Structure 1
Amino acid sequence: MSSSRQDQAFEDTPLHAKVMVVTGGFGVLGKALGQHLRARGARVALLDRAETTQEKVNDDGDMLALGGVDLTSVESANVALRQVAEHFGRIDGLVNVAGGFAWETLEGASLATWDHLYQMNLRTAVVASQAILEHLFAAQGGRIVNVSAQASIKAALGMGAYAASKAGVARLTEALAEELKDRGITVNAVLPSIIDTPTNRADMPEADFSRWVSPVQLASVIAFLLSDEADAVTGACLPVSGRV
């Protein structure tokens, strides 16, 4: 499809011409979300700590991949977001996908696990959200969507560190929504159960994968929260639990 015909096809889509930043953009969910948002007319920047993505990013100018971004670093986050703003001319939204998981009981565990999951799951969301604000203020509005987890509501065995970090993401969502509610910026979170990824399938081979949440299903909910249709929704922590 030519670029002009593609632009025409995107004109009536919910996120037409909006610029969305996805952290953790080279992972399974990040890549699925980037493709989903692009299909809905958004221009998308994928940010990741990894240097490169294994999959080709389209070269039509509306999908940008930035590797080597350390989102635990304020300086690194600010540099990356300024690159995005320079490339697209503006930024309209942020999705904090970056994060990780570890299973470990407290007995005999290392505090390093708690520190590591805090860094990956909560600090990255705090740093990226803080860095995006100047750009959303310049755009006179915008969207922030965080990926928390069902475990933030009730933790299972061995999930104390993970659940605590994801509960921090949920509380960040609520506090930031209150802070920004009169600035034209909404802040919401999705709380998935088990996401259907190759890693989760390998770790739980006996599970019924059909009950899990697919990356595309989760991306659809996130895309709604980024859209104009979700303008009245802020401070929500929305369970996306499939049939788990």
Structure 2
Amino acid sequence: MTTSQGGQGPLEGAVVAVAGAAGPAGRAVLLRLAEAGAVVVGADADAARLAEAVDAARYAHGGATVTGDTVDLLDLAATREWASRTEKEYGRIDGLVHLVGGWRGSASFAETDLADWDLLDKLLVRTLQHTSLAFQAPLERSGNGRFVLVSAAGASKPTAGNAAYAAAKSAAEAWTLALGDAFRKAGGESGPRAAAAILVVKALVNDQMRAERPKAKFAGFTDVTELATAITGVWDRPAGEVNGQRLWLTPEP
């Protein structure tokens, strides 16, 4: 990968896959990665929304390589095939940004609907398990790979009505930290060649949310554009410095 010299940053020419690329955060990340010079490969289950997100990134950054694949990330074989196809086509994979999200909550702990857990387990945990298993080896082969999970502060301080969501986020964090340990062990004495990092926010906000709720303050929320910048910044630091770390974009609870 091109290093920071001659005006080129660490993402210039890098190949980065984005899981859950069609949502507001995904759109912002596609734009920021394209701006940084990366080859961006987005995946989402919603083909129409993914096509819109890919077209927007291409339009904003003429000449950037931004593609989209409709992938069912709940299917491990399909996820592995996506990783294999991407590495074969571009010769490398330098990053996987996991943005598959979802939220369910209740008015109280007693009113928790376990159907919410079933859904969040699939969205927040199972998709992460599949992307991490599919992309671990390519990221290690990269020499400077990054696996990035976006998590929520609620995972560290669950509230009564957010039991299912916080538990799913906590499980996703633990899984990602285990991947980080695998990277650490694979690197041996020379240090990890890839890193698994967790970016922690209180919640995310975007322009559409502000337009729909003009009087809301969204105090402490992280704008999706700020998140996108923070994600690209993970490549600016050595793998050993960010591997297995929670990088807080909001005050720790």
Q: Give the aligned partner of residue 155 of structure 2.
A: 152
Query: Which residue of structure 2 aligns with residue 44 of structure 1?
Result: 40
Paired position in structure 2 for 1:178 = 181
2:94 counterpart of 1:85: no
Q: Which moved more, 1:123-132 or 1:155-164?
A: 155-164
- Return the match for 2:9 from 13, 29, 36: 13
Q: Which amino acid aligns with 2:42?
A: L
Which residue is 2:27 aligned to? 31
Distance in 1, matches of 2:93 and 2:130, equals 16
Partner of 1:128: 131
Aligned-partner Cα distance in 1 for 2:239–2:197: 10
How many matched pairs? Answer: 234
Q: Which moved more, 1:123-132 or 1:45-54?
A: 45-54
- Does structure 2 conserve the Cα–Cα contact (< 8 Å) formed by 1:94 and 1:145? yes
Tell me which moved more, 25-34 or 202-211. Answer: 202-211
1:145–1:226 CA contact under 8 A, matched in 2:
no
| Residue-by-residue CA offset, 1:137-182 (whole Å, 9 max, x unaligned) | 3334411111111111112241111111111121122222112114
Equivalent position SS for 2:161: coil
SS in 1 for 2:198: strand
- Secondary structure at the counterpart of residue 79 of structure 1: helix
Letter in 2 for 1:96: H
Seq. identity, %: 27
TM-score w.r.t. length of structure 2: 0.83
Q: Which residue of 1 aligns with 2:234?
A: 225
User: Could you tell me which residue of structure 1 aligns to residue 201 of structure 2?
Assistant: 192
Cross-structure match for 1:3: none
In structure 1, how many angstroms separate the alpha carbons of the residues matched to 2:17 and 2:236? 14
Q: CA separation in 1, counterparts of 2:112 and 2:237?
A: 45
Conserved in 2, the CA contact under 8 Å of 1:19 and 1:91? yes
Distance 1:36 1:224 in 2: 11
AA aligned to 1:107 is A
CA distance in structure 1 between the aligned counterparts of 2:8 and 2:177, rounded to whole angstroms: 32
Amino acid at match of 1:110: D
- Structure 2 match to 1:111: 114
Tell me how far apart the structure 2 counterparts of residues 216 and 117 of structure 1 sit (CA, whole Å): 25
Taking a change above 3 Å as real, the CA distance of residues 201 and 61 of structure 1, as seen in their structure-2 partners, is: closer
Residues 202, 220 of structure 2: 8 Å contact kept: no
Q: 1:202 to 1:106 in 2, by over 3 A?
A: farther
Out of 70, 73, 80, the position equivalent to 1:71 is 73
Report the TM-score when normalising by structure 1.
0.86
CA–CA distance in structure 2, aligned partners of residues 19 and 11 of structure 1 = 19
Q: Distance in 2 between matches of 1:65 and 1:156?
A: 36
Indicate the structure with greater helix content: 2
